[in-house]
């Protein structure tokens, strides 16, 4: 996996030049690497919204990595904590607007969980600005661009996290 | 494990920003990856064949295609894997187009991001297991929501194909907006002459059940097996007895606003919208009925020769089962009075909407087709049409083009000359003329030259009354000068807005809609009449503004898709569902509490205890129970927890 590691570092350096990304690349000093954000999104609204943004060529910072799940109701809040544990600088959860859930009510269960997580996350030593949950519908490509751009900018303001542990 | 990775060029769509050859080379360095390639178009015939060959030659047991969105081609490539002899659920897609190459501009940045995405997908692929679909019986009845021309066309096509169709329509008659129109462009055909025979066909077809004055209350189930509760609104008239003779309407002493004629003249509290209504049945508008308001009257009951009046009638909920649902809820006219203060907010009598003018022109309308000024009843000498009222206007949150107003304005301008006389002065204020259909441009030219309608390019800034005229103040942007016209009648080319209740209906059906309330198709080109909810289809303006030919064509397209779906006796269900590992279940049954579909049930075990069990054909695979189970004993096939955690790990490898 040595190959992988070097290339991923290169990836970090390259992303320094990405639009919306700040900080000069400096290999070896973790504090200077570009931030990396994990997004977990539902298949029907936000993943499709990100598709709509892509089709519309709505430019976004390159710091986000998306994971698709059927519904935000399927997301265990521990996924977000696992991501922080694994070194994520930010975690973004997005699903269908209230009332629009493909499965009728999955997003309501998600809302309760992530409201709670948002409130308690600073107790784990993570500033709440590093965590965001929101709604983006399948037709809201432009809103997706805005959500991603603003969230990444907020995480960049805090910079990369130095330690990985929670 | 033997994984094959295919990094698609997609022409230059991906390869223009992502170094696909480099990524294919790097993919070979990943654990378990034994084959990697970078086809030009992976979805093309040779592209798919390359996958099939690689599965066979390299004995692949997992395939990762790194290309477009899974919403685009996941189904395609699952089929390809199946053809190659690989279980289709051992396939994973890495979206490096919509989520990467199309939103980034710099090759190094996009390439490294794509590399992360590919590694994440390979990590997920390692956790996949083969899955097999189940089969369920299909109910072959179809529900059509909305009885306008779209619903009528779809219903007739489906019924002719031998399927049982139920049309649910919120008004007392089918016909929709087209029934209100006088003529249709560009042929100046009589609208009623086209539509009313179709309405009658619907009413008489042995395979069509009309449920008018009804609305969809609740929808549950899934493709092939929907259960729908329909509210039959109380009309206070027993429709099994009513013969549509209209004596009650003639004798009723209470006036009520006429929705069908868009409020031009009042109707009666008991009413039949128009003479050709199907079904031709009376209904009482309770809010305006003297009996319901004061407790005295009952004139209709006394005069009804059929004894059909029933003041005690209540709303009724009817439950029906369907295999497919077609949404054809149509449109509403943009409520211009609420937005255009500069046009008088509806207070100037001689300023009317396009649809009101249509009723004025119509021989079966409230004025028998007599075009006149509403202020004094005189024939107008100067008529001004204003286009784009509630269309292409961001200040009223309607940036879209309604698509029909240019054409209906031209038609109405022609008909004005026809009804009132060729010496009538007719002006049209326009932004651009959009005449893109067959014969449309020629029609506009004919209106301008043969009928002498004067087109003025520019927007009208103000309408006001002066000396019994409506003063139209605007700009002629071609001449660059101010224009002021003293008009007798002003007709606003009011745009299309989504039908009231469209969002609520979309939510009941679990389908997507846009910010304006138009429902979202599966894909604009590949799945234009499907929605993202299997078994729910779209027809007509509910999906977006369109004219009658496009609506009818789409409705027939929808019918073809429904026939295709229901031609099968069994449907394959998605195997990506929740499964309980019963040995770890602690019988808390929280899964039963949270499931929106009542898929988990208590299943008796040999020892007499109960454990949770998910009914395969009911589960929709949302995974809410999976995230709820306190002992993690429910797995979601296709989205295993380990896969999600591995994707997180892989994304963050630094």
Burial class (CB in 10 A: 0-12, 13-18, 19+), A19: middle
Neighbours of B115 (CB within 10 A): 26
* Radius of gyration for the alpha carbons in chain B, expressed in angstroms and rounded: 30
Q: What is the pLDDT of residue B382?
A: 98
Partner-chain residue, chosen from B99, B116, B639, that has the shortest CB–CB distance to A11: B116
What pLDDT, in 10s, does the model give residues B552-568? 999 999 999 999 999 99
Contacting A residues, span 130-159, partner chain B, CB-CB under 8 Å: 137-140, 145
> Is the pLDDT assigned to residue B328 strictly greater than 60?
yes
What pLDDT, in 10s, does the model give residues A57-94? 999 999 999 999 999 999 999 999 999 999 999 999 99
> Is the pLDDT assigned to residue A164 strictly greater than 80?
no
Q: Does B449 touch chain A (CB under 8 A)?
A: no
Taking each helix axis from N to C terminus, what angle separates A77-85 and A106-120, rounded to the nearest 10 degrees? 40
> Is the pLDDT assigned to residue A24 strictly greater than 70?
no
Percent of chain B with pLDDT over 70: 100
| Residues B543-548: contacts with CB under 8 Å, at least 24 apart | B543/B518, B543/B519, B544/B400, B544/B518, B545/B331, B545/B400, B545/B401, B545/B402, B545/B403, B545/B404, B545/B495, B545/B496, B545/B518, B546/B403, B546/B404, B547/B185, B547/B403, B547/B404, B547/B407, B547/B437, B548/B149, B548/B178, B548/B184
Q: Which two tokens stand for residue B426?
A: 């007719």
User: Domains of chain A, with CATH numbers?
Assistant: 34-158 (3.40.50.960)
Partner-chain residue, chosen from A4, A58, A67, that has the shortest CB–CB distance to B647: A67
Partner-chain residue, chosen from A45, A60, A105, that has the shortest CB–CB distance to B596: A105
Set of chain A residues whose Cβ sits within 8 Å of the Cβ of B99: 50-51, 54, 66
User: If you count them, how many residues does chain B have?
Assistant: 654
Q: Which two tokens stand for residue B489?
A: 């009648």
Confidence of residue B523 (pLDDT cuts 50, 70, 90): confident
For residue B427, the distance in angstroms to the closest alpha carbon of chain A comes to 38
Q: Does A128 touch chain B (CB under 8 A)?
A: no
* CA separation, residue B239 to residues A14, B212, B235, B301, B592 (Å): 73, 11, 8, 14, 43
Partner-chain residue, chosen from B105, B510, B594, that has the shortest CB–CB distance to A109: B594
Q: Decide the pairing of beta strands B496-498 and B189-190.
A: unpaired
Residue with tokens 């000068």: B481
State whether B507 and A58 contact (CB < 8 Å): no
Listed in sequence order, the residues at least 6 apart from A9 whose beta carbon sits closer than 8 Å to its beta carbon are: A27, B654
Q: Does A48 touch chain B (CB under 8 A)?
A: yes
Q: What is the distance between the alpha carbons of residues B132 and B533, in angstroms, rounded to a whole number?
A: 21
Average pLDDT value for chain B: 96
* CA separation, residue B553 to residues A151, B167, B534, B550 (Å): 44, 19, 21, 5
User: Which residues make beta-bridge pairs with A92?
Assistant: A39, A132
> Is the pLDDT assigned to residue B587 strictly greater than 80?
yes
User: What would the mean pLDDT of A128-133 be, rounded to a whole number?
Assistant: 95
- A-B contacts at Cβ under 8 angstroms: 191
Residue B602 is inside which H or E element, if any? Answer: strand B600-604
The closest alpha carbon to B221, from B627, B533, B504, belongs to B533
Set of chain A residues whose Cβ sits within 8 Å of the Cβ of B631: none
Contacting B residues, span 500-559, partner chain A, CB-CB under 8 Å: 503, 506-507, 510, 512-515, 520, 532-533
What pLDDT, in 10s, does the model give residues B113-134? 999 999 999 999 999 999 999 8
Contacting B residues, span 587-646, partner chain A, CB-CB under 8 Å: 594, 596-597, 620-624, 626-628, 636, 639, 641, 644-645
Q: What is the pLDDT of residue A31?
A: 58
User: What would the mean pLDDT of B288-306 be, rounded to a whole number?
Assistant: 96
Burial class (CB in 10 A: 0-12, 13-18, 19+), B117: buried
Q: What is the pLDDT of residue B191?
A: 95
> Is the pLDDT assigned to residue A13 strictly greater than 60?
no
The closest alpha carbon to B550, from B558, B45, B361, belongs to B558
Burial B223-238 (b: 16+ CB within 10 A, else e): bbbbebebbbbbbbbe
Q: Are B578 and B625 in contact (CB under 8 A)?
A: yes
Using alpha carbons only, give the angle B7, B10, B12 rounded to the nearest 5 degrees.
115
For residue A156, the distance in angstroms to the closest alpha carbon of chain B comes to 16
Set of chain B residues whose Cβ sits within 8 Å of the Cβ of A106: 596, 622-624
B465 upstream amide cis, omega within 30 of 0: no
Phi first, then psi: what are they for B543, rounded to 5°? Answer: -90, -20
CA quadruple B359, B364, B365, B368: dihedral sign:
positive
> Is the pLDDT assigned to residue A23 strictly greater than 70?
no
Residue with tokens 């973790």: A30
The closest alpha carbon to B19, from B95, B115, B92, belongs to B115
Q: What is the pLDDT of residue A19?
A: 41
* CA separation, residue B373 to residues A57, B208, B405 (Å): 51, 43, 22
Q: Are B634 and B591 in contact (CB under 8 A)?
A: yes
Q: Decide the pairing of beta strands A131-135 and B382-389.
A: unpaired
Contacting B residues, span 412-441, partner chain A, CB-CB under 8 Å: none
Q: Which two tokens stand for residue B164?
A: 């049982």
Q: Decide the pairing of beta strands B536-538 and B324-327.
A: parallel
Confidence of residue B654 (pLDDT cuts 50, 70, 90): low
What pLDDT, in 10s, does the model give residues B145-201? 999 999 999 999 999 999 999 999 999 999 999 999 999 999 999 999 999 999 999
Nearest chain B residue to A36 by CA distance is B652
Q: Which two tokens stand for residue B242?
A: 């009513």
Q: What is the distance between the alpha carbons of residues B173 and B606, in angstroms, rounded to a whole number?
A: 58
What pLDDT, in 10s, does the model give residues B406-415? 999 999 999 9
Nearest chain B residue to A10 by CA distance is B112
For residue B505, the distance in angstroms to the closest alpha carbon of chain A comes to 10
Listed in sequence order, the residues at least 6 apart from B538 whose beta carbon sits closer than 8 Å to its beta carbon are: B326, B327, B328, B519, B521, B529, B530, B531, B554, B558
Q: What is the distance between the alpha carbons of residues A151 and A144, in angstroms, rounded to a whole number?
A: 11
Q: Decide the pairing of beta strands B469-476 and B142-145.
A: unpaired
Percent of chain A with pLDDT over 70: 79
> Is the pLDDT assigned to residue B349 strictly greater than 80?
yes
| CA B41 to chain CA mean position, Å | 32
Percent of chain B with pLDDT over 90: 96
Residue A127 is inside which H or E element, if any? Answer: none
Residue with tokens 């069509």: B208
What pLDDT, in 10s, does the model give residues B472-502? 999 999 999 999 999 999 999 999 999 999 9
Set of chain A residues whose Cβ sits within 8 Å of the Cβ of B576: 70
Confidence of residue A11 (pLDDT cuts 50, 70, 90): very low
Set of chain B residues whose Cβ sits within 8 Å of the Cβ of A4: 26, 29-30, 119, 653
Neighbours of A155 (CB within 10 A): 27
Q: Does B120 touch chain A (CB under 8 A)?
A: yes
Q: Largest Cα–Cα distance in chain B?
A: 94
Q: Are B118 and B7 in contact (CB under 8 A)?
A: yes
Nearest chain B residue to A33 by CA distance is B654
Q: What is the pLDDT of residue B258?
A: 94
Whether ipTM > 0.90 holds is no
Q: What is the distance between the alpha carbons of residues B263 and B180, in angstroms, rounded to a whole number?
A: 13
Q: What is the distance between the alpha carbons of residues B270 and B266, in angstroms, rounded to a whole number?
A: 12
Using alpha carbons only, give the angle B539, B540, B542 rounded to the nearest 5 degrees.
95
Q: What is the pLDDT of residue B120?
A: 98
Burial A101-110 (b: 16+ CB within 10 A, else e): bbbbbbbbbb
Confidence of residue A104 (pLDDT cuts 50, 70, 90): confident
Burial class (CB in 10 A: 0-12, 13-18, 19+), B257: middle
Partner-chain residue, chosen from B26, B71, B647, that has the shortest CB–CB distance to A48: B71
Residue with tokens 């797995």: B635
Partner-chain residue, chosen from B29, B103, B597, that has the shortest CB–CB distance to A4: B29
Best of A51, A79, A110 to mutate (most B CBs within 10 Å, chain B): A51
Partner-chain residue, chosen from A8, A104, A145, that has the shortest CB–CB distance to B654: A8
Set of chain A residues whose Cβ sits within 8 Å of the Cβ of B111: 14
Partner-chain residue, chosen from A59, A74, A139, that has the shortest CB–CB distance to B515: A139
Partner-chain residue, chosen from A57, A71, A87, that has the shortest CB–CB distance to B652: A87
* CA separation, residue B447 to residues B31, B405, B564 (Å): 71, 15, 43
Question: What single string gives the DSSP state of each residue in B50-63?
Answer: HHHHHHHHTT-SEE
Burial B18-39 (b: 16+ CB within 10 A, else e): bbbebbbebbeebeebbbbbbb
Q: Which two tokens stand for residue B46?
A: 């040779």
Set of chain A residues whose Cβ sits within 8 Å of the Cβ of B72: 51
Best of B526, B622, B631 to mutate (most A CBs within 10 Å, chain A): B622
Phi first, then psi: what are they for B338, rounded to 5°? Answer: -80, -10
CA quadruple B340, B345, B346, B351: dihedral sign:
negative
Confidence of residue A2 (pLDDT cuts 50, 70, 90): very low
Q: Does A75 touch chain B (CB under 8 A)?
A: yes
């Amino acid at each position: 996996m040595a190959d992988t590691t070097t290339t991923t570092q290169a990836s970090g350096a390259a992303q320094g030049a990405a639009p919306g990304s700040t900080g000069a690349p400096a290999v070896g000093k973790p504090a200077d690497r570009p931030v990396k954000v994990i997004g977990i999104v539902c298949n029907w609204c936000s993943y499709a919204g990100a598709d709509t943004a892509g089709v519309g060529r709505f430019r976004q910072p390159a710091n986000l990595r998306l994971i698709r799940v059927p519904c935000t109701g399927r997301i265990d809040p521990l996924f977000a904590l696992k991501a922080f544990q694994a070194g994520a600088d930010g975690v973004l959860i997005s699903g269908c607007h209230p009332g629009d859930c493909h499965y009728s009510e999955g997003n309501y269960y998600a809302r309760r969980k992530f409201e709670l997580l948002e409130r308690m996350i600073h107790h784990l030593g993570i500033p709440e600005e590093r965590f965001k949950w929101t709604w983006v519908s399948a037709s809201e490509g432009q809103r997706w661009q805005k959500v991603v751009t603003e969230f990444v900018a907020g995480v960049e303001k805090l910079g990369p996290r130095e330690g990985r542990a929670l | 494990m033997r994984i094959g990775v295919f990094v698609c060029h997609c022409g230059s769509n991906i390869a223009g920003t992502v170094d696909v050859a480099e990524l294919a080379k790097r993919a070979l360095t990943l654990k378990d990856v034994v084959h990697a390639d970078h086809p030009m178009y992976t979805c093309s015939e040779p592209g798919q064949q390359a996958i099939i060959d690689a599965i066979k030659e390299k004995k692949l047991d997992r395939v990762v295609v790194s290309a477009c969105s899974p919403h685009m081609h996941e189904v395609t490539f699952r089929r390809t894997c199946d053809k190659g002899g690989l279980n289709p659920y051992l396939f994973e897609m890495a979206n490096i187009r919509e989520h990467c190459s199309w939103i980034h501009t710099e090759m190094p940045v996009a390439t490294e991001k794509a590399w992360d995405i590919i590694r994440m997908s390979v990590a997920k692929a390692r956790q996949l297991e083969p899955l097999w679909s189940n089969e369920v019986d299909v109910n072959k009845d179809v529900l059509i929501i909305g009885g306008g021309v779209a619903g009528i066309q779809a219903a007739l096509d489906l019924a002719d194909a031998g399927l049982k169709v139920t049309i649910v329509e919120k008004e007392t008659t089918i016909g929709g907006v087209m029934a209100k129109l006088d003529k249709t462009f560009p042929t100046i055909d009589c609208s009623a002459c086209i539509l009313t025979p179709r309405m009658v066909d619907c009413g008489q077809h042995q395979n069509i059940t009309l449920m008018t004055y009804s609305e969809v209350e609740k929808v549950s189930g899934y493709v092939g097996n929907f259960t729908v509760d329909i509210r039959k609104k109380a009309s206070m008239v027993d429709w099994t007895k009513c013969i549509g003779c209209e004596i009650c309407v003639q004798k009723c002493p209470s006036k009520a606003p006429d929705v069908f004629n868009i409020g031009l003249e009042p109707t009666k509290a008991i009413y039949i919208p128009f003479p050709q209504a199907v079904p031709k049945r009376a209904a009482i508008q309770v809010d305006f009925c003297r009996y319901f308001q004061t407790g005295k009257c009952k004139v209709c009951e006394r005069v009804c020769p059929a004894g059909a009046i029933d003041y005690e009638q209540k709303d009724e909920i009817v439950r029906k089962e369907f295999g497919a649902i077609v949404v054809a809820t149509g449109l509403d006219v943009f409520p211009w009075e609420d937005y255009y203060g500069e046009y008088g907010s509806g207070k100037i009598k001689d300023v009317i909407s396009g649809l009101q003018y249509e009723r004025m022109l119509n021989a079966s309308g409230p004025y028998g087709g007599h075009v006149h000024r509403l202020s004094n009843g005189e024939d107008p000498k100067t008529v001004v049409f204003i286009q784009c009222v509630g269309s292409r206007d961001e200040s009223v949150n309607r940036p879209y083009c309604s698509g029909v107003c240019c054409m209906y304005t031209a038609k109405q301008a022609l008909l004005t000359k026809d009804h009132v006389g060729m010496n009538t002065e007719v002006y049209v204020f326009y932004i651009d003329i959009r005449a893109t259909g067959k014969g449309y441009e020629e029609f506009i030219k004919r209106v301008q030259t043969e009928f002498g309608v004067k087109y003025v390019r520019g927007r009208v800034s103000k309408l006001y009354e002066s000396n019994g005229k409506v003063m139209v103040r605007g700009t002629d942007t071609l001449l660059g000068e101010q224009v002021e016209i003293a008009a007798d009648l002003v007709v606003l080319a009011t745009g299309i807005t989504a039908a009231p209740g469209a969002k609520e209906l979309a939510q009941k059906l679990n389908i997507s809609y846009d910010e304006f309330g138009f429902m979202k198709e599966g894909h604009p080109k590949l799945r234009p009449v499907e929605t993202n909810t299997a078994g729910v289809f779209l027809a007509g303006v509910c999906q977006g503004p369109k004219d009658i030919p496009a609506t009818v064509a789409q409705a027939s397209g929808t019918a073809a898709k429904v026939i295709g779906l229901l031609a099968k006796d069994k449907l394959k269900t998605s195997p990506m569902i929740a499964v309980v590992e019963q040995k770890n279940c602690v019988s808390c049954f929280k899964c039963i509490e949270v499931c929106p579909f009542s898929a988990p049930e208590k299943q008796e075990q040999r020892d007499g205890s109960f454990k949770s069990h998910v009914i395969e054909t009911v589960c929709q695979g949302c995974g809410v129970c999976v995230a709820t189970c306190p002992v993690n004993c429910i797995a979601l096939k296709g989205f295993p927890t380990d896969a999600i955690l591995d994707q997180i790990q892989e994304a963050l490898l630094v």
